[in-house]
Amino acid sequence: MSLVKPLGGEVTVHMKAPVEDVWALVSDVTRIGEFSPETLEAEWTHGATGPVVGARFKGHVKRNGVGPVYWTPCTVTKAVENEVFEFAVGLDGNALNTWGYRMQAENGGTSVTEYFRLTPAWFMRGYWLVLGRLRGKTNERGMRTTLERMKAVVEA
């Protein structure tokens, strides 16, 4: 049994919608500004136009919903249609964290899990040791808000 807590968290919400509709929503990064309390907008970059491994985009983030405000580069790391959409945040080869969505059809709809994992570098471990509990709670509230807002759209 490991005593090391994971450097991340996750939230699951069930949506009364087909997995294909949920996939279309979570993998369209250009719509994240409608749902996320921290990410104002995102746009595909470097010629990317959709969710495939290696596609790049940038997110316009307002940290903690109050600032600072900045653009951050992202790269799609997993894109399995109707199953998982994941991306790394940071410059090539130097991701600070990974965010993603796992989808599973069940109970006449789709269970969607949004998750984040920090890169286990020494400085990120230090950050998590000092601020992890607080930031983890903030991220979990934000993920729940994001998923509930998405749910309202796909169930409408």
Give 118-125 contacts, CB < 8 A, sequence gap 24+: 118/7, 118/8, 119/7, 119/90, 119/95, 120/7, 124/7, 124/96, 124/97, 125/7
Please give the Cα distance from 91 to 8 (Å, whole number).
20
Can you tell me which residue has the tokens 């984040």? Answer: 116
Q: List pLDDT tens digits, range 113-143.
A: 999 998 877 777 787 778 777 788 888 999 9
pLDDT at 3: 45
> By three-state DSSP, how is residue 36 classified?
coil
Structural domains in the chain plus CATH codes:
8-155 (3.30.530.20)
102-121 pLDDT, tens digit each: 999 999 999 999 999 988 77
**In the prediction, which pLDDT does 5 show?**
55
pLDDT bucket at 68, cuts 50 / 70 / 90: confident
In sequence order, the β-bridge partners of residue 101 are 85, 114
